């Protein structure tokens, strides 16, 4: 009985130490004994693992997009590609950037494909996806027993990634060129590495949505849209 009460006794202390909505990457596991683990359920640990995988893929995608579109990091006045990536994933910004006109989440993603946007389109896309994902995790980089993720929000986030991928591969400027280069289907060697990383993100969000729905006996409304005409789904209710 006492062992069951210990996590509840110390939970407020651990929860008070959690950084929420900072915009930094998810908290990495601590080597050795981590007292915070006392106040976590198995689902919390699984969710954190999926969150880390999503952001690892997002960071890799940012690097790859900047390599194929170097003009974008230069638009932001960054000294290098590495500096541009670090700005997104290693600074405390709450996923809000001045050049994104105060937009966050899917509102920021729209900027990446807008004709009148002159800023860093990779930043708009990746930061928008990062913010949307954090919103689906209740803007928390660490989860505890009393935290309650919504499987519908995670499912919707996965669908939104699909929409963003479609736009990345199909949305074109007035001259017919893609706003951002990603997969390369022509040439002797096809480069589909972008597609694989986006697939990992979608798979992680979908699997976590199913795990939480099954564990909590909640029903997820399976909304599927025509990607060519799809609108982004809400991830905060």
| Model confidence, pTM | 0.86
- 3-class SS of residue 172: strand
The pLDDT assigned to 202 comes to 98
The pLDDT assigned to 14 comes to 46
User: DSSP letter at 7?
Assistant: H
* Residue in 161, 169, 153, 166 with CA at minimum distance from that of residue 226: 166
* Residue in 119, 135, 115, 100 with CA at minimum distance from that of residue 205: 135
The pLDDT assigned to 76 comes to 86
pLDDT band at 21 (very low <50, low <70, confident <90, very high): very low
Q: How many Cα atoms occupy the beta-carbon half-sphere of 141 within 13 Å?
A: 20
The pLDDT assigned to 9 comes to 45
Mean pLDDT of all residues in 1-15? 46
**Residue 37 pLDDT exceeds 50:** yes
**Residue 8 pLDDT exceeds 60:** no
**Residue 19 pLDDT exceeds 60:** no
Mean pLDDT of all residues in 108-120? 97
**Residue 6 pLDDT exceeds 80:** no
Per residue in 207-219, pLDDT (tens digit) is: 999 999 999 999 9
**Percentage, residues of the chain above pLDDT 90:** 68
The pLDDT assigned to 36 comes to 59
């Amino acid at each position: 009985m006492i062992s069951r009460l210990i996590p509840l006794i110390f939970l407020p202390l651990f929860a008070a130490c959690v950084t929420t909505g900072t915009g930094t990457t998810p908290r990495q596991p601590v080597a050795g004994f981590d007292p915070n683990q006392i106040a976590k359920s198995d689902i919390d640990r699984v969710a954190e693992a999926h969150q880390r995988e999503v952001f690892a893929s997002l960071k890799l995608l940012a690097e790859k997009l900047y390599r194929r579109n170097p003009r974008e990091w230069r638009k932001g006045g960054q000294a290098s590609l590495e500096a541009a990536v670090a700005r997104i994933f290693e600074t405390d910004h709450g996923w809000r950037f001045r050049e994104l006109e105060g937009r966050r989440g899917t509102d920021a993603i729209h900027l990446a494909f807008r004709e009148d946007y002159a800023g860093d389109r990779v930043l708009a896309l990746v930061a928008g996806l990062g913010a949307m994902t954090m919103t689906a995790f209740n803007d928390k980089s660490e989860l505890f027993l009393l935290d309650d993720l919504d499987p519908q929000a995670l499912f919707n986030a996965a669908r939104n990634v699909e929409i963003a991928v479609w736009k990345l591969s199909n949305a074109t400027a007035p001259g017919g060129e893609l706003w951002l280069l990603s997969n390369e289907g022509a040439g002797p060697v096809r480069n589909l590495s972008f597609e694989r990383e986006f697939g990992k993100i979608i798979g992680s969000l979908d699997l976590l949505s199913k795990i939480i729905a099954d564990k909590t006996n909640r029903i997820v409304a399976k909304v599927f849209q025509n990607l060519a005409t799809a609108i982004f789904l809400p991830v905060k209710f």
